[in-house]
Structure 1
Amino acid sequence: MAINEGNPGGNFHREEAATNGEAGHRRRLPLLVMSACPLAGHTLPALHVARELVKKGFEVIFMTATEFRGEQQREKIPVGPPRLMFDIEALFLPSIPVRTANLRSLLELVRERDPARDVVVVTETVSLGVFAFKYGAPLPGGYDAFPKTIGLNVVPLPASSVDTAPFGSGLPPDATEAGRARNQALNAGLREGPFQHLVAVQERILTDMGCTRMPERALFDAWLESFDTMFQLCSPSMEYPRSDLHSSIRYAGALPKKGINPNFEYPSWWSEIRSNAALPAGSLGKKHVIPVAQGTLATTYEELIMPTITALAKRDDVIVIAVLGVKGASLPADFEVPANTKVADYLPYDVALEHADLFVSNGGYGSMTHGVINAVPMVVAGITEDKVEVTARAEYAGLAVNLKTQTPSSEQIAAAVDKVLGNPKYKEKAVRLMKENRDLDCHAIIEREIMLYSKAK
């Protein structure tokens, strides 16, 4: 059986049954119940993991949900910590009861279908369906104990530490005596300030759900540590060092490339990219290929894509690939696209970065990890949602120049591009990070952990 995507009502897609040999093997493997926060940047990495596990012979049920709807009020909240607080209170915390109920129903359905089947729950961190069960919420029917759980964290690690400032501040780590004093003061200020209200909201929700105890750890720490094992999907060099990291949190490495669909239709101009890639390095006429993207949610192209095109418009040694991120999207009709720029409404990152020399991004975590697995250095500019932390980590890892703004000028972008292309240390670091993540072998690490928690081992 392949991935089942649906809701707990039972409308799951099924494929033809496996052969007898395969079926016998799968009976020895645990059934995997998976879910993710209903945002593309959270769901797609979890689906990537699920598909690889199916290839390894696991049966996977993947629970989906309706994507968060736009909040008009959200756009009025200043970017940075205030908007992060809003997202937690208005989007993530209210989702806990329904996600918990859906997961309970699905697990009960699984138990009714096969009472003896071993089950392991694998979910993306902020899907939050597992959270309440770890604090005493009534178990699903048919279970004496909640199944073993594995978390997948696909955003910068928000674990608090004596060595780091609070998540959302964008400040670099500092483990010196003075730095730890700074971190202690800032973390305490957050706990006793904005987060005090959020913790109270969370506790009311958990109490209403019948939980028998409350988290003693800080908000994000409680979420992360609610799993038996939490995998951060990057290598250690892409994160801040923490001397007090919880023992359940481990690094699995970035997800490898999914591979390009053999039926993918390349843009008509792609032959120019291939011809350029075939030229020897340093040869006359070879150009730098520079994709620029804002992800799938940020479609105000005036923020980054258009300034990047303008910044590089007069360079005859560059090909810009502007990836708009949404099928059918286009740049404003009155914006003049220069001859050195190719525009694609939608282009998978692994295609866009296949022959890239530099990647200009607004700091999504997925874009950063794709830059790493393709060994492409970056210029990053983004401070919304978790992007202030993504861009800070890209800079800390030596992968990128961080412009530290949501709306960089063309002059800032041009200078940053020159800095990355003119200094080989950025490319060298990108290659080193690519190898580090490849050697970890993310899929193998996750599979081994599943089997550790399985009676089938």
Structure 2
Amino acid sequence: MSRVLICVQPARGHVGPTAPLARALVAAGHEVSVITGARYLDTFADLGARTLPLPPEVDFDDTDLDGSVPGRAGLSGMRLARFDLTRFVEAMPHQLRVVDQEIARGIDVVLCDPLFLAGMQLVLRPRASRPCVLALGFLPLMALLPAFPPTSSPITRARNATIRALAHRFLRPITRRAQDEVRTQTGVTTDLIPFDWPARSDGVLQFTAPGFEYPRDPADVPAPIHLIGPLTSSTTSEHALPPWWDDLDGTRPVVHVTQGTIANADLGQLLAPTITGLAEVDVLVVATTCGGPLGLDRLPPNVRVADFLPYDELLPVCDVMVTNGGYGGVNHALRHGVPLVCVGASEDKRDVAARVSWSGVGVGIARPTLSPRAARAAVQRVLGDAAYTRRAQELAAQIATGPTVEEVVALICPTTDPT
């Protein structure tokens, strides 16, 4: 038996892929502790894990970020990005205090959310004085930050170098603060960018297919990368089928559109333009609002709407998924061989859109929103070119033949010969 500590930010898109690992580890007889926010403690306790709350000053409610994070309301664009990233760094000492209390009880392996920045402090400690630390790759692997598709073009390489330099300049005050925090807490001086810390871990468990992640130079990412595929499930036990479910009878292509579980305050960014743009197209549009206000006076007759739907039932009957680029949702679609229109520019969504285009599984558009005309053109492009579906199905096959959950557990907690 191993003792495993899981550190995960209290956000649905982070908890969703982590919970199946916790369940499998407990089922295999390992002792599992989880540090997360108050909203998700019961999720892990119900799986048999010991739970520890984040300190209140660094906890938040992912369904009400502006209300639960003081100073966030009213910010947008680069100011919001800087605020959120700074908040991650400010949480480091509070997170580390709880982590170290648990490590003192005896921990063999730490599984750490890449945005749980106490992970940076852990991996910079001498290996002999800390447990094995594995990064949970339910975000696109960004190291070296920001990551770009491979290219042989000198012009593109020069452009990428310029963008990387600008990104590092934007991050400079945040990086300095994180490095100062590491030095204060551990005595270690480092030039590591805080969001690159998974590259220095003992391994990255990346929740995707081999065909959806860029090849890496070991000099940039010395940590072993284990491509384990998506683990999140979404079944009828969580979300019931709506009364109109039988309309998905295969007589028309099904286009699913979603803005994910968080970015639903303004469904005019993607849902409304897609619904409007496809109103006269012979498809059935299935939209999930995740509780957000749709804001349309009238729905076209080819549209069906629900707050949530069970993806393991919906995705097998979809022909295209239009998404704002959540990494988990995109990989869930790829598990079922569904090609994508990916539209996003905030957080990591620009990087997910780039991977969608690079991997050939759909159309990636690095914008915050689309016009109805552009949405229609993108969907018709994917529907009209079977190469996108073939490529998505190739990645589905990679996921299907990838490691099982039991094999991932064995990777996390390898058995040792007692002799």
Q: TM-score per shorter chain, which class?
A: 0.7 to 0.9
- What is the match of residue 151 of structure 2? 174
| CA shift for structure 1 position 172 | 4.2
Taking the aligned partners of 2:310 and 2:294, their CA distance within structure 1 comes to: 18
- What is the match of residue 384 of structure 1? 346
| CA shift for structure 1 position 128 | 2.3
Taking the aligned partners of 2:304 and 2:80, their CA distance within structure 1 comes to: 34
Match among 271, 279, 284 for residue 313 of structure 1: 279
| CA shift for structure 1 position 288 | 0.7
- What is the match of residue 60 of structure 1? 32
- What is the match of residue 230 of structure 1? 204
Change over 3 Å in CA distance of 1:187–1:308 after alignment to 2: closer
Secondary structure class of the residue paired with 1:292: strand
Contact 2:9 2:15 in 1 (8 A): yes
- What is the match of residue 263 of structure 2? 298
Letter in 2 for 1:199: T
Taking the aligned partners of 1:442 and 1:127, their CA distance within structure 2 comes to: 26
- Higher mean alpha-carbon deviation, 374-383 vs 232-241, is at 232-241
Taking the aligned partners of 1:264 and 1:186, their CA distance within structure 2 comes to: 42
TM-score of the pair, normalised by structure 2: 0.84
Match among 143, 149, 171 for residue 159 of structure 1: 143
Query: Of the two, which has the highest radius of gyration?
Result: 1
- What is the match of residue 112 of structure 2? 123
Contact 2:200 2:221 in 1 (8 A): no
Letter in 1 for 2:28: K
Taking the aligned partners of 1:456 and 1:238, their CA distance within structure 2 comes to: 39
Taking the aligned partners of 1:203 and 1:245, their CA distance within structure 2 comes to: 19
| CA shift for structure 1 position 74 | 6.6
- What is the match of residue 56 of structure 2? none
Contact 2:200 2:223 in 1 (8 A): no
* Map 1:36-51 → 2, pairs under 5 A: 36-51=8-23
Match among 180, 184, 191 for residue 208 of structure 1: 184
* Map 1:224-373 → 2, pairs under 5 A: 224-243=198-217, 244-256=219-231, 258=233, 260-262=235-237, 264-273=239-248, 276-277=249-250, 286-299=251-264, 300-315=266-281, 317-326=282-291, 329-332=292-295, 335-373=297-335
Taking the aligned partners of 2:26 and 2:417, their CA distance within structure 1 comes to: 18
- What is the match of residue 77 of structure 2? 78
Residue 417 of structure 2 corresponds to residue 451 of structure 1: no
Task: Name structure 2 gaps, 5 residues minimum.
Answer: 38-58
Contact 2:239 2:309 in 1 (8 A): no
Task: Give deviations 1:9-62, integer Å, cap 9, x for gaps.
Answer: xxxxxxxxxxxxxxxxxxxx2022112122221222111221222333333222
Taking the aligned partners of 2:271 and 2:15, their CA distance within structure 1 comes to: 25
Secondary structure class of the residue paired with 1:202: helix
**Count of aligned positions:** 390
Contact 2:335 2:396 in 1 (8 A): yes
Secondary structure class of the residue paired with 1:225: helix
Task: Give deviations 1:288-331, integer Å, cap 9, x for gaps.
Answer: 1111100111111111111111111223x3111110123xx553
Secondary structure class of the residue paired with 1:290: strand
Taking the aligned partners of 1:258 and 1:372, their CA distance within structure 2 comes to: 13
Q: Alignment identity in percent? A: 27
Change over 3 Å in CA distance of 1:265–1:136 after alignment to 2: closer
TM-score of the pair, normalised by structure 1: 0.78
Task: Give deviations 1:316-364, integer Å, cap 9, x for gaps.
Answer: x3111110123xx5533x5201221111012233333131111011111
- What is the match of residue 164 of structure 2? 187
- What is the match of residue 217 of structure 1? 192
Letter in 2 for 1:32: V
Letter in 1 for 2:170: P
Change over 3 Å in CA distance of 1:403–1:203 after alignment to 2: closer
Taking the aligned partners of 1:182 and 1:37, their CA distance within structure 2 comes to: 33
Task: Name structure 1 gaps, 5 residues minimum.
Answer: 1-28, 112-117, 161-165, 278-285
| CA shift for structure 1 position 134 | 3.2
Residue 102 of structure 2 corresponds to residue 106 of structure 1: yes
Letter in 1 for 2:399: N
Change over 3 Å in CA distance of 1:386–1:336 after alignment to 2: same
Contact 1:256 1:438 in 2 (8 A): no
- Coordinate RMSD, CA, aligned: 2.7
- What is the match of residue 397 of structure 2? 435
